[in-house]
Amino acid sequence: MALATKNRDYWSDAVGACRNAAVEFAQLSTPFQGQLIAVYPAHDLTFDTFPQHRSAAPRYRPQSPKMTWGSSPMFGADDRAASPPPRCTCSIARTIAVDSCHLLVSGLTNKWENGEMDERHRRLNLRAGATMLAALSGLTFNATAQAQEAQPRQVEAAPSPRQVTPLMDGWRFHFGETPEAALQQDFDDSAWTSVSLPHSWNRMGNYAPERAEGSDVRQGSGWYRLNLPDIKPPEGKRVIIQFDGVGAIADLWVNGTHVGTHKGAFSRFRFDISDYLKSGQTNLLVVRADNSKPGPGSTTEHVIPLGGDFFVHGGLYRGVSLLTVDSAGFDLMDHGGPGVYVSTPSITAEAAKVAVLTRLRNTGRKPRRLSLTTHIADADGRIVATSMQPVALEASQAREITTALALPKPRLWQGRSDPYLYKVTAELRDGKRIIDRVTEPFGVRSFTIDAGRGFVLNGQPLRLHGASRHQDRQGKGWALTPEDHAEDMAIMAEMGVNTVRHAHYQHAQEWSDLADRTGMVVKAELPFVHQSAFDDGLSAPELLANARQQLTELIRQNYNHPSIMLWSVGNEIDIGAAIAALQRGGKGEPAKSRDMLINLDALAKAEDPSRPTVYVDCCEAVPSPLARPGAQILNDVTQVIGLNRYFGWYYGQPSDLTAALVDLRAKYPGRAMGLTEYGAGGAFTQHTDNPLGGTVHANGRPHPEEVQSWVHEETWKVVGSSNLLAGTWLWNMFDFASTSREEGEAYDLNDKGLVSYDRKTRKDAYYFYKAQWSQEPVLYLTGRRYVDRAYPVVDVRAYSNASSASLTVNGRAVGTVACPQRICVWPGVKLAAGENELSAQAEREGAQLTDTLRWTAPDAAAGLNIRAGHLTGITTSDGLRFGSDNFFSGGRASGLRLAGRTRLAPSNVTGTPDPELYGSYRAGEFSYSLPLPDGLWTVTLHMFEPEIDAAKASARAMTVQANGKQVLTGFNPASAAGGSLKAVTRSFPVQARGGQVMLTFSGGEGGAVVSAISVQPKR
């Protein structure tokens, strides 16, 4: 904030301005006329300090009031050593807290306390302050109304001195090779497509086994042209073009001249195009957006991300606008930031210290003498703190100024319960003319995150539970509207989320504004994901430079969002090398990403020491082939550890997560941990009768919706009450595009979202978390998309935050059950043949809850057909429908091998017209308790020998019992079928009693195997 003070005229001007301000103040404040007013300089300046100014600082004795100069004891040796400029900070005693100097009115205190001042003059603190601000042009004024005595004033903002022109319409677009002539005004672009922004040429992701017609997964260069009218700025003005997001490299030409390049798909950036515009003619903008697939030698070789499980969409997918601004103002070239940065270094119940850093730039050819006014307004628009100070900007100079304000009795930003926002407005004036203004919302909050207490907001522990979010949606890609962002936030808020993870990059400002207003705690991320190189070597210097650029942009553009509390500087940065090694049969060195991560972590801490850094790890000590021997340790770099753990989906069981967390806590005792990803895929059209009935093909098909729900239920049992985690973020809130995926029912989609890609349908697991987290009463019957049931006896499930719930089927009362862990289960409910109406009822906090669905069921008298070892059913060539594996106890589900990352190998069992019926099996020792009407039945077992090894195949000796009676003894499937991988069946009669038939299977060392069980009425 240093100003040149060795100019005698400037000193005289400062003294004169203070004199005039005091006179104006006295004239406004009639009760004080005739009183002695003393204005003290801001620092302890004696005339011995600056002897050259001694004669320039005379005593001024205006007729009314009198004014003297003296020295102030408020600043210590450090301030004197800084050789500060003359400043005048004015205050009314007892009403305005003062940082620098005092405007003292003798007798003021007595008059106030003796009641000699009326209410109008009690409010003079801010009214007089406003007069001072007008009078003190070129001086510092710093006043804050104290809580008990100040009456905040409401000020209506003047029109913005910036002229903002959105450039959303009138663009012409072409993808692919484009002649150089397209950069010129006379190029004929009539064959190009007319588009409006936001725009991306990419569209992908559909709920079908093949890529949908109309999908567009092209990567390369898309070209945009726009003609602008005559917009040559007037003298002293500049024209800045602002891009809110371009995927992934942007090049700009104006009237055929290249202006600049920006590399990075997610951040805002600006170019000054003033000198490229031509007056008296139409001006041509040409933009090339390049989202070429990263690889050695590609244009995106040194632009993060180099890879990842999401698609980088090309295009001008966020807004573009022109800003016409004064040549001096808040720095628009500060990495796309606002130029005004707000922090709260100290917060108490009585006051918050607010620090406002402003970055200013004078692009003009002449020095400017300006004044900077900074004020804080509450949510009702009332000014509650204000400051003014002189600003000298030399030609082509950029500088920083920090203003300290005191905010009395601050109302805190309390997350979802009370996301209260203030606004800081900074105005730059040339005399009385406002030449630039920036307004930034901010929240007053303190927070910590540590291994002991977890996440603490404003002194109170807050358990973070939420979800990650990608920014694309079906039919639009990344080209989202404000309404799209608002819908996403509303869906998440309804579920009860209190934290959002930005996966895996900077999200739109509209989204982060919503997070501020909704009260979400946000983990913001740098797109340093997947890998740091294309080989086993270190990251390229150019890649590191780009990552540093994008990290700086991320932090500066989002610094003022109170919702953002964590900077994530990397996500699974070693997984790309691990996947590549697997594809090479385990050959290849582990990734060398640690040095780059350390560098970025240090940069984040330097840019913003107030927020902790996070690294998100995929693989340390997990039972996965991606946990490579010799891999670099990365979890000791950042202040917080994020863990992506998929127990129950890619490996292990959900319950295994407990031991994994305990081990990591022991290894990293001083670091807070969060579970940053967990979950499972879920299809809308694939269903199972029992999520434990088959092998999960996580990278293939099927992905039954019920399995997704089970993984979330079981994982939440571990993490919901764990004291080892500061927060949890499920993966993912919405299905999102990924061209590496052919899974579940979808193509080009990661289906781990709890809500469909188009946001129209919510999966069952969404309501599980709504019952856990929402304050709203919840009752939801699951399985509503599994309408055509395979079995006439089912377990009915509901999610509810009521303590109990009741069920009726076709008007018949089934019973009332408790809902432990907010899951209500009615086991073994019998359905009628045909359509059934199921209705659940519950009561919570006086609210009566009801949910109803309809299922169709087969006739119980027709028997049962079970596909053993598989999560979904099948219909055979003769039209017989088999349901998924169910009614079993024990054994293990097995299936034939995968043919690749996403596809199942076809069954190679012979001797049957239905080889897929034999593509899975249950093995070991197990039993089936089959719900059947009393009577005589014929049971048919479908079997084969899966072992190719002849010795193992010949050793199998199965024993099967029906209701305790042996029906097969020493049965060898290979011998009976004439070899391994050949189908064989055996049938036997059985009597159902008490609505049940019990089948038990054993087989010695090899165990029993069965691929399907068919039970038909005995004829």
Q: Which residues belong to the active site?
A: 572
The dihedrals phi and psi of 19, each to the nearest 5 degrees, come to -60, -50
Pairing, β 613-617 against β 564-571:
parallel
The DSSP code for 1000 is E
What Rg value do the Cα atoms of the chain yield, rounded? 36
The DSSP code for 887 is S
Pairing, β 499-502 against β 464-469:
parallel
Whether residue 253 contacts residue 181, with contact meaning beta carbons closer than 8 Å, is answered with no
- Tokens standing for 445? 């909050």
Length of the chain in terms of residues written: 1019
Cα distance between residue 10 and residue 5, in whole Å: 7
The closest of 233, 227, 224, 256 to 323, measured between CA atoms, is: 233
Which helix (H) or strand (E) segment holds residue 514: the answer is helix 509-518
Q: CA torsion sign, 469 to 473 to 478 to 482?
A: negative
CA angle 849, 855, 860 (to 5 degrees): 125
The residues facing 465 across adjacent strands are: 728
Whether residue 877 contacts residue 806, with contact meaning beta carbons closer than 8 Å, is answered with no
The residues facing 342 across adjacent strands are: 356
- Tokens standing for 1008? 């029993």
Whether residue 240 contacts residue 272, with contact meaning beta carbons closer than 8 Å, is answered with yes
Whether residue 305 contacts residue 528, with contact meaning beta carbons closer than 8 Å, is answered with yes
Which helix (H) or strand (E) segment holds residue 141: the answer is strand 141-145
- Tokens standing for 455? 């996440």
Cα distance between residue 754 and residue 763, in whole Å: 5
Whether residue 136 contacts residue 23, with contact meaning beta carbons closer than 8 Å, is answered with no
Pairing, β 521-525 against β 564-571:
parallel
Cα distance between residue 225 and residue 257, in whole Å: 13
- 717-728 burial, b if ≥16 CB within 10 A, otherwise e? bbbeebebbbbb
Whether residue 158 contacts residue 434, with contact meaning beta carbons closer than 8 Å, is answered with yes
What SS3 state is found at 600?
Answer: helix
Cα distance between residue 935 and residue 1018, in whole Å: 9
How far is C-alpha 522 from the chain's CA centre? 6
The DSSP code for 883 is B
DSSP state string for 228-273:
E---PPPTTEEEEEEES--BSEEEEEETTEEEEEEE-SSS-EEEE-
